[in-house]
Amino acid sequence: MAYHFNNRIEILDIIESDGPEAGMSYEKVVAKPWADIKTLKGSEYIQSDLEVNEEPIRFIIRYRKGITTQQTVRYDGKRYNIKSVANDNGRNHTLTLFATTSE
C-alpha cells in the first residue's frame, strides 16, 4: 500500500514541573513527522447534558521509537489524544496512531 506522507503533525508530551512551580505542566514537542491521515466515522453523544462530537482519526507515520498513548497529536489546529499505537505488520516500517478529539 502506498502512503502519502504529505501532512506535518506534531507529537507532544506533557511534562510536569519539578521546580518551584510544582504542579505546573508544559508541552514539549517530541517529534514533527510527516503523516498519511485517514479520517474515520465520527460520533455524537450527550455527556453531562452537553452534546459532544468525537472525531476519530488515524495517523500513519514512519516508524520511530518512543511514541506512547500518554502523548497527544497536534494537527490542523486541533489536539488528538492517542488511543493506540500499532507497529504495522511488526516490521518497523510504519506506525499507525489511532486518536480522537472531543469538542
Residue 93 is given by DSSP the state S
Tell whether the torsion through CA atoms of 13, 14, 18 and 20 is positive or negative: positive
Q: Is 2 within the bounds of a domain?
A: no
Does this model's pTM top 0.75? My answer is: yes
Q: Is 72 within the bounds of a domain?
A: yes
Q: Is 1 within the bounds of a domain?
A: no
Q: Is 91 within the bounds of a domain?
A: yes
> Residue 92 and residue 87: Cα distance in Å, rounded?
6
| The total number of structural domains that make up the chain | 1
Residue 54: give its domain's CATH number: 2.40.10.270
Residue 65 cell numbers, joined:
521509537
Query: Model confidence over 10-68: pLDDT tens digits?
Result: 999 988 877 776 677 888 999 999 999 998 876 655 556 666 677 889 999 999 999 99
The range of the structural domain enclosing residue 13 comes to 7-102
Q: Are 25 and 13 in contact (CB under 8 A)?
A: no
